[in-house]
Structure formats: C-alpha cells, structure tokens
A = this chain, B = another copy of it.
Amino acid sequence: MSKNAIYAQSGGVTAVINASASAIIETARKYPKKIGKVYAGRNGIVGILKEDLIDTSEESPESIARLRTTPSGAFGSCRYKLKSIQESRDAYQRLVDVFATHDIGYFFYNGGGDSADTCLKIAQISKEMGYPVQAIHVPKTVDNDLPVTDNSPGFGSVAKYIATSVLEASLDVAAMSLTSTKVFILEVMGRHSGWIAAAGGMASNQGYPIPLIILFPEIAFDREQFIQRVQNSVSEHGQVSIIVSEGVTDKDGQFLTDQGRSDAFGNQQLGGVAPMIASIVNQDTGFKYHWAIADYLQRSARHIASKTDVEQAYAVGESAVLMALDGENSVMPAIVRTGNHPYQWEIGKAALTEVANIEKKLPGHFIDESGYGITQACRDYIAPLMEGEDYPEFRNGIPHYVQLVNKPVPRKLDTGFEI
C-alpha cells in the first residue's frame, strides 16, 4: 500500500532546481501503487514544520512539465537550518508528527550541504521515533561545493551566464577603450569558494582570447600586484575585465566588503566589492572604469541555462525517486563524470554520511601560478557543464514561466509550531 511523499526546496534557489522538482513529481506519478501524493513544503522545511503543505497532485501535467524551464523555487524555499538533534529535538519531533499525520513515507530534500545534514538527521530521528521515512537528498547549489558528486545542479547555468556576460561586456569595452572605459569589473557570487569566479575565466579561450583578471576568494588580495597586472593588461591590450568574487579577502583573511563603507546617509553600506575594486583602480591608475554586480540575476537566469545543467538537475530528481522505490535511505543521487572527451556522465549514489557538512573547495591546481587565472584542468572541468542551450518559451518578449496553483493540503494537526 502506497505512502505519500514530501518534497522541499532549501536555501538559495537556482535556474534549474525546478527541473529537479519536475522530475520528482513526474517520476512519482508513474508509480501510483508505491507513491501516493507528492506534497511540497511551502517555503521549504518551514512549511513542513508549520504543516503548510502544497498538494502537487492539483497541478496539471503541463504545469509540472513546464517547471523544467522555470527558474527559482516554485514551492518557495527558505533559509532555516535545523540544529543538532539535541538542540532542535522539538523541531525534529514536529517533522515526524507531520510525516505520520500525512502518511509520509518518502522525504525528498532539494538543497546544499546544510540540507544534506538535515536530511540525514531526519532519516535517523524518524527511525528512532518509530516512524521511519526514507530521506533522499537531491543536490542543488550554484556554489558547486557539495562533495562526492562531480558537480552540483545550478552551477553549470551560473557558469554559462557569467562567462557569457564577461564575454559580452569585454567586447563592449574593446570598442570603447580608446577614448573611454578601459577596465570593467564584474562581481560574482561564491563567498567561500571561487567556483563561479573561475567560470568567468571561460569567457576567454585560445580561439578567442580576452584580457581577464580573476580575484579568487582563495587568494589574498594584493593591491600592488593587482594594480601591476591591470597596468600591464591595459598597456598590452588596451583593456582588462576583472571578475571579482564577493568573498575576496585581504591578507588577514578579512572580507574586503567587511571593511566599513558609509554612504551619503551615513549608513554602513552592505555588499559590493566591485565598487571598492573600482575605486582602487581609479585611485592607482586613473583608468576609466565601469562595474557591474550580477547578484540574483546570475542564479535566476533561466533564459541562458546550460542544457547539461538542466538535464542533470532532472536526472538527479528522477533518480531520487527511483532510489526511494529501491528502498534506499539517507542517500543522494550524485553526478559521476565517466568521460571528458567526449564528456560523459551517469548518476551514482552517495551516502549522506559522506556528504553532510563537507564542503568541496575549488582545487588548488584549478588556479594558475599567477593566482589570477584558471588552468586547463579547470577549463576541462567546467566546459562541459556549460554546454548546450535549453531556452524557455517566450511570450510578450519575455520568458513565459509557469505559475502553479500551489493548493494547500488541509491541516490535520490541532497544534501549530513556532519558527
């Protein structure tokens, strides 16, 4: 007899997390004898704790199919980290109560490192509490910092967006540099790891070289050395494009953005390392510059998603359901790279004990000796993840993204839960 499933999205959303959601729901619908309804937590695990569930069976097959081409989290996500079982016991108890009340047998948690840890704890505690659910983690993060899996769905599309944007802006500067802008600065995400900054390096290749400087969070910012490179590039090429990670630090390991800045209103100005780098360039070289901060545009840019990324996001969702049906628990579908020339991949299986609380760093050998560029090994790794286009449908000149009904599941518990 079938059990219901709960799906929840966690943490920062991506251009392709809904493709995983689409896969989970479409695959579950193929096994009605084993999986009843697929509920979604409204705004992720917070919705489960509040017993605020969405009945995805109310969505048409067309809507679920169109999730594949719709960015962001269609059921809502959240930033809410459960602490240890000791500290958050009441929350875990509540989750199990909701699971039991709604006859949940499967829990699919779609997120990064924190949610992998939560997913593992839920499997353990639900068993300990006498209502065991199969908890499967579905990888997602633009930061690409999940271990075991070759890459994380979400990263390939950000990489494609950043590399394309750096290329296009650099062509702009090339046309203007004689009499105007010589230095362009783009700030990218990745506070603790330079995966996305490295992707900016993909804008330049042997066939189409572009003068770039990458400021990685892994390399302490050296103003003098940096300015020297800017000077050299401008005198040699007339221009330079700088990709700066939001997480770049000084030699003491302090984020440059933590060095207080105030605006006209006397407020501490939050965020924005690009304008700081711009000011340094302006002060030390006098070169005319422009700077941009992509912020959310980079992780929500479904209009230029990577086809590989979309296919992998779908594949991990589909595999999550199949693993659940195989009786698996506390696992995560992982992308396994089986070939590079040509690129080949398959879905493997990772134990959450191997995934939870482990951060995959950008390998040292992906950054070149200069500290301002990427190596061929890095190119070989990133290139296939950016490969292929998978355009959404457009209407009225803009992407036509799906709007779900998101019908609530009637509450059954007479108690609430304080977040």
The residues of A with any CB-CB pair to B shorter than 8 Å are 9, 12-13, 15, 43, 46, 70-74, 76-80, 159-160, 163-165, 167-169, 171-176, 178-181, 184, 186, 202-203, 205, 208, 256, 259-265, 267-272, 274-276, 278-280, 282-283, 290-297, 299-304, 306, 383, 385-389, 391, 394, 396-399, 401, 403
Contacts and interface: CB of A to CB of B under 8 A. Distances in A.
5 shortest interchain CB distances as A-B pairs: A386-B397, A73-B175, A259-B264, A292-B295, A72-B171
A388 B397 contact: yes
Contact of A180 (B79, B175, B282, B388): B79
Contacts of A306: 397
B276 A275 contact: no
Given A160-B398, A293-B293, A279 B259 contact: no
A178 B72 contact: no
5 contacts: A168-B301, A203-B398, A264-B276, A270-B282, A387-B396
Contacts of A73: 175-176
Contact of A71 (B168, B202, B256, B399): B168
Nearest to A43: B178
B261 A262 contact: yes
B303 A168 contact: yes
Copies of the chain in the assembly = 2
Nearest to A397: B386
A172 to B, nearest CB: 4
A300 B241 CA distance: 14
Nearest to A70: B171
A264 B271 contact: no
B291 A265 contact: no
Contacts of A43: 175, 178-179
A80 B179 contact: yes
Given A46-B178, A167-B401, A173-B296, 8 more contacts: A70-B171, A71-B168, A76-B174, A168-B302, A168-B399, A169-B297, A169-B300, A267-B279
A90 B169 CA distance: 35
B283 A176 contact: no
A44 to B, nearest CB: 8
A353 B202 CA distance: 47
Contact of A383 (B77, B293, B304, B396): B396
